[in-house]
A and B are shown apart, each in its own frame.
Chain A
């Protein structure tokens, strides 16, 4: 057939896949077996399984879990309420808009808001709680991360709720289900795909964000991303950095398998 002549056109795309999708992963895996002096070794993995790194990994997962949980708790009701508003298109656009603002600028704003003389501390002082150290701790990290990720949680859930056939809810109510039962047995299970893609969109980035930890959390919170950045750009120990990266890639792959589907949420967007 003439398929072969046409295939030449496709070359740039496949070259891209090989060079920028496959090769980087292979290179990271390869580098994780070398120490600073360029010797082939398993030492990096041994180092990774020492308590220091294990603790960092666990706390990174714990913070990512907290961020995902709070985002979900805030986003689900918001998404649900948004589906009942009159000018839905406009409101959802207003949810999307802040996500286009540079993440660093939003993080920077919190340096002022949570600062010693910032409005939150002024408010706390006025209520009588008194000034608190809000910046440079775990609280500020979780708060700012949730702030940044909530829209990414709202959108997929909103889409799932939009696709939900309203007659199913009416049917449940007609058959005598209470509001809560309807939610638990009908609405929530049917929007689970949206919840899953929302969680994916939040959990993985919050494992790897390093600018928020640097700007807002001082060095009180160290995520896997912070460790990778530290090793690559500060201590120049690419081997160890790659090892942490390999762990992050594996964690990501496992999560994808568990939540069923790779890139499914994107295709879901139609």
Chain B
């Protein structure tokens, strides 16, 4: 029995090692003064300096953050509306149908989303660039926000709303004082998921970005196609630290909120990002 455990642990250690090796590898060589990814010559901050001096990269970084914040905020608002809409539907079949439509963009491959949005923008006449990227990010983030908010809405007892109305609350009061506070956690989770979807997206943006406008993923892609450049390594180290801080922060907040309500299930709670 003890032996079996040992093999099991060894396997897990191996899985984790392989999972993190490429990330650590990138970080390690970001300090390499030799300028390549195979021979560590000496320690240097040079590549980090290069990242911060690269104005083009800085502008792209700001673009990416602006798109992520704006798109996730708007997507969350529409997601709240969507969750309320789905929750109101009484007939089961209709509800399932709307939910299926909601989930289409989650299960669709990115290339198809990108290609079809490209056709859509061309037909409608939206110029490719900031607007098209923002609209697509909003569009593909909406379903996940709905999925994060809906379960909380369904957990809510309808008697709460009835009680509020009996006590004379207007419709707006019911929404602002009863429903929204109750589903706050779902809204927060939805916003967070939308934010990371947007930061992470490459394929859709690649299709609808046109010339002259770029996000971080697209920029990394075009630089990586030209071969190894250690400023990408430095950048990825920074991104890794940022992401880790974000995830850990989210996890902590979520956990603190959940110890008050119920047992936490991180995998289910956080969903599966693409």
By beta carbon, the residue of chain B nearest A84 is: B8
Smallest CB separation, B10 vs chain A (Å): 10
Binary B-proximity of A225-269 (CB < 8 A = 1, otherwise 0): 100110011000010011001001100100010000011001101
Check if B107 sits within 8 Å of A104, measured CB to CB.
Answer: no
Check if B200 sits within 8 Å of A102, measured CB to CB.
Answer: yes
A66, CB-defined interface residue at 8 Å? no
Check if B196 sits within 8 Å of A100, measured CB to CB.
Answer: yes
Number of A positions contacting B (CB below 8 A): 92
| Interchain CA distance A162-B236 in the complex, whole Å | 34
A107, CB-defined interface residue at 8 Å? yes
Check if B107 sits within 8 Å of A263, measured CB to CB.
Answer: yes
Chain A interface helix/strand/loop/mixed: helix
B36 partner residues in chain A, CB cutoff 8 A: 117
Chain B interface helix/strand/loop/mixed: helix
Check if B116 sits within 8 Å of A270, measured CB to CB.
Answer: no
Smallest CB separation, A245 vs chain B (Å): 5
Comparing A9-17, A47-55, A125-133, A185-193, the segment that makes contact with chain B is A9-17
| Interchain CA distance A238-B82 in the complex, whole Å | 32
A4-28: which residues lie under 8 A (CB-CB) from chain B? 6, 9-10, 12-14, 16-17, 19-25, 27-28
| Interchain CA distance A82-B147 in the complex, whole Å | 26
B1-50: which residues lie under 8 A (CB-CB) from chain A? 8-9, 11-12, 15-16, 18-23, 25-26, 29, 36-39
Which of B38, B232, B267 has the largest number of chain A CB atoms within 10 A?
A: B267
Smallest CB separation, B210 vs chain A (Å): 11
A96, CB-defined interface residue at 8 Å? yes
Check if B207 sits within 8 Å of A105, measured CB to CB.
Answer: no
A85 partner residues in chain B, CB cutoff 8 A: 12
B21 partner residues in chain A, CB cutoff 8 A: 113
Query: Residue A27 contacts which of B23, B84, B123, B228 (CB distance < 8 angstroms)?
Result: B123
B162-202: which residues lie under 8 A (CB-CB) from chain A? 171, 196, 199-200, 202
| Interchain CA distance A101-B246 in the complex, whole Å | 11
Please judge, given known A-B contacts A24-B117, A232-B115, A248-B112, whether A159 and B101 are in contact too, CB under 8 Å: no
Check if B102 sits within 8 Å of A262, measured CB to CB.
Answer: no
Check if B106 sits within 8 Å of A100, measured CB to CB.
Answer: no
| Interchain CA distance A102-B243 in the complex, whole Å | 10
A28 partner residues in chain B, CB cutoff 8 A: 112, 115-116, 119
Smallest CB separation, A70 vs chain B (Å): 12
A150, CB-defined interface residue at 8 Å? yes
Please judge, given known A-B contacts A89-B264, A101-B243, A245-B112, whether A113 and B22 are in contact too, CB under 8 Å: yes
Check if B22 sits within 8 Å of A97, measured CB to CB.
Answer: no
Check if B139 sits within 8 Å of A20, measured CB to CB.
Answer: yes
Comparing B51-59, B65-73, B217-225, the segment that makes contact with chain A is B217-225
B85, CB-defined interface residue at 8 Å? yes
Binary B-proximity of A75-99 (CB < 8 A = 1, otherwise 0): 0011001101100010111111111
Check if B202 sits within 8 Å of A233, measured CB to CB.
Answer: no
Smallest CB separation, B187 vs chain A (Å): 15
B253, CB-defined interface residue at 8 Å? no
B249, CB-defined interface residue at 8 Å? no
Check if A112 sits within 8 Å of B100, measured CB to CB.
Answer: no
Smallest CB separation, A144 vs chain B (Å): 9
A residues with CB within 8 A of B: 6, 9-10, 12-14, 16-17, 19-25, 27-28, 31, 74, 77-78, 81-82, 84-85, 89, 91-113, 115, 117-119, 122, 147, 150-152, 155-156, 158-159, 162, 200-201, 204-205, 207-208, 210-211, 214-215, 225, 228-229, 232-233, 238, 241-242, 245, 248-249, 252, 256, 262-263, 266-267, 269-270
Interface pairs A-B: 3 shortest CB-CB = A112-B37, A24-B116, A263-B103
